[in-house]
Chain A
Amino acid sequence: MSKDTYDQALAIAPNALRAPWTRRVRDGVLLLLALAALVGMAIDLGLAPGALMTGFGKLGRFLGEMFPPSSGGQSVRIIRALGETFAMAFAGTVIAAVVALPLGVIGAKTVVSHPLLHFGFRRFLDIFRGIPALVWALILVSVFGLGPFAGVVALALADIPNLAKLFSETLENTDPKPIEGVRSAGAPPLAVMRYGLAPQFAPVATSQTLFFLEGNFRNAGVLGIVGAGGIGFELDERIRIFAFDEVAFIILLFMICVAALDTLSRALRNRLA
């Protein structure tokens, strides 16, 4: 664009080519304020550049020690722990789905139609939705004792409100026409559920549950840190004694398992959809 045409354009529509200076100043000030707030937070948290440097030095050494990964002659124990991790995830997901199903039915607008009850129940579920499984696991371990049982309950507790919400949304989105059709053919209520509702609801709900199984396997891998069973315990133990070659071995194995489960579950979900 030549200087002349630019000047002409600027004269005709100044705001199209360049934001008015008041806005530019305002945006600049806002950006500076945001940056200042972030820096203030960093200072308040005590994030010192020195600590960052020494930390990265240590981290580099750890990463160096990770190669080559080594099982430390305990591959059987590690594989058993991985199995336990999957068992926890599976049991937790099944329990969560079983408990979330009736809750999801209650939470569906089409079932409990009173707006106040519906709103109240949804809010009640929302309260618990944000709590991570590890927070549940920490307290459950001190109630149930060390071991995978606390982990299973923690995973289930963390999932139930989330799954219940998804289930009730799925129920609300079902098409009423097939249900009416089956009913108008004179089917008893159970048959209406079986042939009108289930074919619409079950595949979606199963696919949602599978998705939670994937997440639970990842989460189950860390619950051992607080003593709730699974691979996390083995990992924590080895990080504490700085055995990073074994740490790398466990992490790699775990990540392979996570990727395998994700792929399998995605294939199943694609078939369901």
Chain B
Amino acid sequence: MLIRQRAQAAVGLAIFTVLLVVSFQRSQFFGSEIGGDPLGRLLDFLQRMNPHLRPEVLLEDRQTRGSLHSWFYALPIWLKAAWQTVQMAILATALGTVLALGASFLTAQNIMPFAPVRFVVRRILEAIRTLPDLIMALILVAAFGVGPLAGVLTLTISTLGGLGKLFAEINEEIDPRQLEALQASGAGPLKKIRYGVMPQVLPNYASYALIRLEGNLAGAAALGIVGAGGIGIELQRAITYTEFDTYLAILLIIIAMIFLIDLFSEAVRHRLIGLEKA
């Protein structure tokens, strides 16, 4: 191995070690009043999430300790909150996709001829992607109040940022001949988009939007924690009352919800890909 390569590797290793030591120290991983014995505490935490189910009374009523019903004691409320989360994700994905569609035409080189417009819209989309959703949610909850409205708006804006970029990339990769043909026959910008772009890009758009739906659902679950509606509010409540087993129950509902939407989205995407090939 070349000496230069070795020296580079050594410097890299040194930087990494320093960063590692400093970051573990700064994040109080060892030796703080609460951080000692991390593994023991983790085990303790798992222990406290245990709902202490007892097989002999599993199907008894809510008052019996150790039954499924007493573990999932507020199931109808949680399911309703979970449904609210799903609705938030669907609405935000739909709205965000429509907005991203508009934005993508404004940023695609082959459709938007004015460079300044492309530049400004691109920078806005970039800024949205840099800002974490939850920070946006905090501000929107302060403005729109606690509830799903702030959550839907947050996810809509973040979907606009994420999909706008992807859509613009798809737009720039389309076959230019169809656009030129429309241009030659005197079509305006809207007609060019409708007949020259849309037929080429719609399946790709739909597939990205569905992937985004999966992400938005997980995002919507977390948004509730800062007061933006949905199942997250129930998580926050379980923590407020230090009901760790309840937390686990709601977590299981969230996992099931994400799993179902993933299945749905995957099925639709496979159908779309099939359509494209056919």
A52 to B: closest C-beta gap in Å: 7
Q: Which of B36-44, B55-63, B268-276 contacts A (4 or more CB under 8 A)?
A: B36-44
Chain A residues, CB < 8 A from B28: 147-149, 229
**Given A84-B27, A247-B139; A127-B255 close (CB under 8 Å):** yes
Chain A residues, CB < 8 A from B149: 45-48, 51-52, 55
- 26 residue pairs from A and B, CB less than 8 Å apart: A44-B84, A46-B147, A46-B149, A48-B149, A55-B140, A58-B143, A84-B26, A87-B22, A87-B26, A90-B23, A91-B23, A94-B20, A127-B255, A132-B221, A132-B222, A134-B222, A135-B225, A135-B254, A138-B236, A142-B239, A142-B244, A143-B44, A149-B32, A225-B138, A236-B138, A255-B127
Nearest opposing residue in chain A for B45, CB measure: A143
Distance A87 CA – B28 CA, assembled complex (angstroms): 10
Q: Which of A21-29, A101-109, A184-192, A216-224 contacts B (4 or more CB under 8 A)?
A: A216-224
Residue B34 interfacial (CB < 8 Å)? yes
Residue A41 interfacial (CB < 8 Å)? yes
Residue B110 interfacial (CB < 8 Å)? no
Distance A259 CA – B48 CA, assembled complex (angstroms): 40
Name A46's contact: one of B135, B148, B247, B251 (CB within 8 Å): B148
Chain B residues, CB < 8 A from A144: 34-35, 41, 45
A221, B144: Cβ atoms under 8 Å?
Answer: no
Chain B residues, CB < 8 A from A142: 239, 242, 244
A64 to B: closest C-beta gap in Å: 12
B92 to A: closest C-beta gap in Å: 10
A135, B222: Cβ atoms under 8 Å?
Answer: yes
Q: Which of A's residues lie within 8 Å of B, judged by CB? A: 1, 38, 41-42, 44-48, 51-52, 55-56, 58-59, 62, 83-84, 86-88, 90-91, 94, 126-128, 130-132, 134-135, 138-140, 142-149, 151-153, 218-219, 221-222, 225-226, 229, 232, 235-236, 239-240, 242, 247, 251, 254-255, 258-259
Distance A134 CA – B49 CA, assembled complex (angstroms): 17
Distance A258 CA – B84 CA, assembled complex (angstroms): 32
- Cβ contacts B174-196/A at 8 Å (1 or 0 each): 00000000000100000000000
Query: Taking each of A83, A142, A242, which has the highest tally of chain B beta carbons within 10 Å of its own beta carbon?
Result: A142
Chain A residues, CB < 8 A from B38: 149, 153
B229 to A: closest C-beta gap in Å: 7
**Given A130-B258, A131-B251, A225-B225; A41-B91 close (CB under 8 Å):** yes
B34, A147: Cβ atoms under 8 Å?
Answer: yes
A86, B23: Cβ atoms under 8 Å?
Answer: yes
Chain A residues, CB < 8 A from B148: 45-47
Chain A residues, CB < 8 A from B258: 130
- Cβ contacts B246-260/A at 8 Å (1 or 0 each): 010001001100110
B17 to A: closest C-beta gap in Å: 11
Chain B residues, CB < 8 A from A56: 143
Which 7 A-B pairs give the minimum distances between C-beta atoms?
A55-B144, A87-B26, A87-B23, A222-B134, A130-B258, A90-B23, A59-B143
Residue B87 interfacial (CB < 8 Å)? yes
Name A51's contact: one of B41, B145, B226 (CB within 8 Å): B145
Name A87's contact: one of B27, B42, B139 (CB within 8 Å): B27
Distance A232 CA – B45 CA, assembled complex (angstroms): 24
Interface residues of B in 114-169 (CB under 8 A from A): 127, 130-135, 138-140, 142-145, 147-150, 152
Query: Taking each of B19, B135, B226, which has the highest tally of chain A beta carbons within 10 Å of its own beta carbon?
Result: B135
Distance A219 CA – B222 CA, assembled complex (angstroms): 12
A236 to B: closest C-beta gap in Å: 6
Q: Give 17 new A-B contacts, CB below 8 A, not counting A88-B27, A135-B225.
A: A38-B90, A44-B87, A45-B148, A46-B148, A46-B149, A47-B149, A52-B149, A87-B24, A91-B20, A130-B254, A142-B242, A144-B45, A218-B130, A222-B135, A225-B225, A232-B135, A258-B130
Distance A144 CA – B39 CA, assembled complex (angstroms): 11
Nearest opposing residue in chain B for A147, CB measure: B28
Distance A229 CA – B29 CA, assembled complex (angstroms): 12
A91, B90: Cβ atoms under 8 Å?
Answer: no
B152, A47: Cβ atoms under 8 Å?
Answer: yes
Chain A residues, CB < 8 A from B45: 139-140, 143-144
Query: Taking each of B132, B218, B235, which has the highest tally of chain A beta carbons within 10 Å of its own beta carbon?
Result: B132
Nearest opposing residue in chain A for B83, CB measure: A44
Chain A residues, CB < 8 A from B185: 1
**Given A87-B22, A90-B20, A255-B131; A135-B221 close (CB under 8 Å):** yes
